Structures are given as C-alpha cells and as structure tokens.
C-alpha cells in the first residue's frame, strides 16, 4: 500500500473491508442461484448488479463462472443461453469501493462427486491464511498450499497464482504461488493480497483456451481507427479494471478490441483450461497482512 497518513490509511482500510462485506453477501446469495438448469448469464448479471445495489461502486472484474476443466476467466457472452448442468462451478467475483478491491472465489459441486476436490482447495486456502503474517515469505505459502493439496490426493495448478491488490488493479505484486518455488517475496504488515489455491485431479497446469470474453486496459496510447478510439473512450470509467464484452453495445466491438489489443492498449484473458482435462476446484479470500497474522476482508 502506498505511504499515507494514519487517517488516510484508516479510510482506505475501511473501503477494503466495505468491499469485502458487500462481496460476502453477494457471494452467498449467488451461491444459492447456482443450480442445475439455472442460467449462467442470469447468475453473472445478478452478481454484478447486486454489488452495486448493496453500495459498491461496481465489480472489480466480470463475474467468472468457470466449469469443470475450466479454471478461470469464463464469463457469459451477451445473450448466452447456457444453463448449468452437473458441473463443478468456480464462482470468482470481485467488488470495488472507490477502486479498493475485494476478491473471492468458491467452488460449487453440482455433481455431488467432487466434494474431496472442493475441500482440497479450501483446506489449502485456510492453511495459507494461517501462515500469513508480517515477515513471511510468499514461498512459504506456496509450500503450505502444495503440501495441503497433495496430502489430499490432488495436484495444485502450478502456473496459477494468487496476487496482490492495489487501487483499481486486481492483479498487483506480489504473486502468491500455489506450489513450491525457489524465491518469493516478503510480506509486510498492511499488504493486501488475494490467496487462491486451485486443486485438480488432472495434470496440474492450465493453458489458454480459444474463448475470450474478458479484457483489460493496460496502457494509454493514441489509436488511429475511429472504432477503436470510440471504444477506448467508453472504457475510461473502468480505468485498469477488467471488463466483459457483454457490457458494451458498441458497433464493430470485436474489430475495435482486436485493434486495441494489437496496439498493446488492451490485454485479453482467454478461458484457462486444465491441460489434462482434469476437474478443477478453487477457493479464494482477500486478506490484509498484520504484524502477527492477517484479517480476512471477504469472510
């Protein structure tokens, strides 16, 4: 967190906690809506609209509803009619208050067959949370997460990590590994991080799929084409927060996004899939590091 006065720090922390309180309520209400036969689009829109109804300034990123071998970055497209089947569903949602972010995820097993897989990511999350305190190296978190998941008969997804959170930036340093690494980063009191273990019965690695519905503005740069300029203007309110294609009715949307991506202005987030086709579970909380532990903002 940037250097601020004590009064400013208290105000910022309250915004983090307010975002977390709102997220917690939305997460619980959304979980009850994830059922076989329910519309994925309706659940995503509920999550994004409900946060604003409860006082948030908006979503920190589009609601992710990744199923089965999908690990992350799956969000419905405009007009999508897909319904949940007997799926293993990862609900990953973010809420922002004045740009200060809460990020959390749960796994809902609609098959009734993957309870142990769900427990593995949850157990790893809480084991890592119990390890967090001022002065702890993130490599220790990776070790705890990997050991917990493997002790339950599964594999961590090694090329996915947790992350820091900063104002309007949902993926900031430091990375929080989900496996053993050589060198990590030392956590300090006041750091805001999202810990998110992924467990799988597959290979333990993800790759970029072919579907992409989530994008993010990553740099400012003049663009020549009118369609790209118009879209960039529409994206200004989101600053550096990710957005979904379905949030826009812009003409030539795909063309404009392609041009912005080619120019390095926009980054795309393809759906991430387990390389071995394995089932994936995810659990995530946002925590603020303290001298002797941490506080969960999204509990």
Q: How many helices, marked H, and strands, marked E, lie in the chain?
A: 6, 15
**Selection from 65, 21, 73 nearest residue 44 by Cα:** 65
| Catalytic residue from among 69, 109, 163, 201 | 163
- 95 neighbors 51 (Cβ within 8 angstroms): yes
267 among the known binding-site residues?
no
92 has binding-site annotation? yes
Catalytic residue among 18, 143, 171, 191: 171
Rounded to the nearest 5°, which phi and psi values hold at 51?
Answer: -60, -40
- How far is residue 203's CA from residue 186's CA, in Å, rounded to a whole number? 29
Note if 171 is an active site residue.
Answer: yes
In the set 122, 196, 201, 213, the catalytic residue is 196
Residue 10 annotated in active site: no
What Cα–Cα distance (Å) separates residue 68 from each residue in 158, 200, 281? Answer: 18, 10, 8
Catalytic residue among 70, 103, 109, 201: 103
Annotated binding residue at 171?
Answer: yes
Catalytic-residue membership of 147:
no
Active site residue 103: yes
Q: Is 73 annotated as a binding residue?
A: yes
Catalytic residue among 18, 146, 274, 284: 284
- Give the gyration radius of the chain's Cα atoms: 19
Query: How far is 31 from 255, CA to CA, in rounded Å?
Result: 35
To the query of whether residue 267 is one of the catalytic residues in this protein, the response is no
292 is catalytic: no
Q: Is residue 84 within 8 Å of 37, Cβ to Cβ? A: yes
- 285 annotated as ligand-binding: no
**Residue positions annotated with a catalytic role:** 92, 103, 163, 171, 196, 284
Binding-site residue numbers are 73, 92, 103, 163, 171, 196, 284
Binding-site residue numbers for substrate are 73, 171
Binding-site residue numbers for a divalent metal cation are 92, 103, 163, 196, 284
């Amino acid at each position: 967190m940037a250097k601020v006065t004590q009064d400013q720090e208290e105000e910022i922390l309250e915004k983090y906690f307010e975002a977390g309180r709102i997220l917690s309520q939305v997460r619980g209400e959304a979980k009850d809506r994830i059922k076989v036969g329910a519309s994925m689009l309706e659940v995503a829109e509920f999550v994004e609209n409900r946060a604003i109804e409860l006082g948030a300034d908006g979503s920190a990123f589009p609601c992710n509803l990744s199923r089965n071998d999908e690990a992350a970055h799956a969000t419905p497209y405009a007009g999508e009619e897909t319904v949940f089947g007997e799926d293993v569903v990862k609900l990953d949602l973010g809420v922002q208050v004045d740009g200060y972010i809460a990020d959390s995820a749960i796994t809902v097993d609609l098959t009734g067959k993957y309870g142990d897989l769900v427990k593995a990511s949850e157990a790893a999350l809480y084991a890592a949370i119990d390890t967090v305190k001022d002065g702890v190296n993130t490599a220790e978190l990776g070790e705890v997460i990997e050991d917990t998941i493997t002790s339950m008969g599964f594999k961590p997804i090694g090329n996915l990590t947790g992350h820091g959170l900063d104002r309007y930036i949902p993926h900031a340093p430091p990375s929080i590994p989900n496996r053993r690494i050589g060198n990590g980063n030392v956590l300090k009191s006041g750091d805001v991080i999202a810990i998110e273990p992924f467990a799988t019965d597959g290979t333990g690695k993800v790759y970029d799929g072919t579907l992409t519905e989530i994008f993010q503005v990553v740099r400012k740069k003049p663009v020549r084409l009118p369609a790209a300029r118009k879209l960039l203007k529409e994206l200004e309110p989101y600053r550096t927060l990710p957005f979904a294609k379905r949030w826009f009715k812009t003409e030539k949307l795909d063309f404009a996004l392609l041009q912005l991506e080619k120019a390095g202005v926009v980054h795309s987030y393809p759906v991430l899939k387990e390389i071995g086709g394995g089932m994936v579970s995810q659990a995530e909380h946002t925590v603020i590091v303290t001298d002797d532990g941490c506080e969960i903002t999204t509990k």
